[in-house]
Chains A and B, each alone.
Chain A
Amino acid sequence: MTDHAAALAGLDAESAEWPRALACSGPRREEALAQLHGLLVRIAQKEVARRGPRLQLTGPELDDLAYQAAADALVAITSKLGQFRGESRFTTWAYKFVMFEVSAKIGRHFWRHPGVRLDAEDWERLPDRFGFDPAQEAEWRDLLAALHRAVDQELTARQRRIFVAIVLNNVPLDALVIELACNRNAIYQTLFDARRKLRAALAAGGYIDDDGRRRS
C-alpha cells in the first residue's frame, strides 16, 4: 500500500468514499458530483453572506457569485483529486477551494467599480490610509514625508507599484492578482519585501525604533 493509500485508508468512511466515487465513472460519479456541488453551493452561499456586509454587492449578485465560486471549486477539486492526501476530512479540503474561489470572484468584481485607480499617486491620502489625525499633523508630518522618500528611494519599480496600488489606492490584494495576472503569493512577497525595506529606512533615519516604537 502506498503512503497515499494508507493515509486515505485511515480516514473516516465518508472522506474515504468521496475520492473513490469522484474518481470512478458512470452514475456513481455523476451522483457524487451532484451531491458535492450541492454542498459547495451551500458553503459558498454562507461564505458570501459572511463577507457580504463588507462588499458592495446585493442579494442576487451575491447568489450569482456563490454559484460561480461553487462551480469553479468543483472543477478545481476534481482536477486536483490526486492531491488529496487525507490530512483532513475530504469536505474540509474541498471547502478550501470554495474559499479561494469566493476570494477570486470578489477580486474580479472589484474592477467593475468605475473610477478604480491602480497607478495614480495621491500622497495626500497617506495619512488617512493609516488613520493619522489631521489635528496632530505636526507630530506625523516628518514621519510620512520620510516614508514617501523611502518609497521613492528604496523600492524597486514593482514594489513601488504594488505599494501604491494597495496602500494609496486601497486596491485589494486579490483584485491586484487579477489585474497583474499573477498569484497572491507573488504580490504578498513583493509587498513583504517592500515593508521590510521601508521599516529599515525609517529606523535608519531615526523615525522609529527597530522594535517599531515611535521615537519621541
Chain B
Amino acid sequence: MNGWSALDRFLRTDPQDVGCGQAMEMLHIYAELAAAGAPVQEHYPDMAAHLRACGPCGEDFEGLLAAVRGEAG
C-alpha cells in the first residue's frame, strides 16, 4: 500500500459505521453468526463498516471469532 491509498483509507469514513459502543454490544452475536458461516457483512453492513475501520474492535472481533471457532473445532 502506498502513502496515497493509506491516507485515503484513513480519511474515508462510512456513514453506516455504528461506532464502538454498538459494535461492542453486539460483537458476540456477530462473531457467532460469522463463525457459523452466515453472510454477516450483508445482514449487518453497519457493523461490518465499523469493524473494517476500527482497529481495536476489529482485533476483538478476530479474537472472538478464533475463540468461537476453537470451541467448535
Contact = CB atoms under 8 A, between A and B. Distances in A.
Nearest to A184: B20
Interface residues on A, range: 35 or more
Interface stretch (A28-36, A83-91, A111-119): A83-91
A96 interface: yes
A96 B3 contact: no
Interface residues on B, range: 35 or more
Interface stretch (A3-11, A56-64, A130-138): A130-138
B26 to A, nearest CB: 8
B24 interface: yes
Contact of B68 (A92, A173, A213): A92
B20 A87 contact: no
Contacts of A158: none
A88 B29 contact: yes
B43 interface: no
A140 B70 CA distance: 45
Given A43-B67, A100-B24, A174-B56, A133 B29 contact: no
B3 A95 contact: no
A172 interface: yes
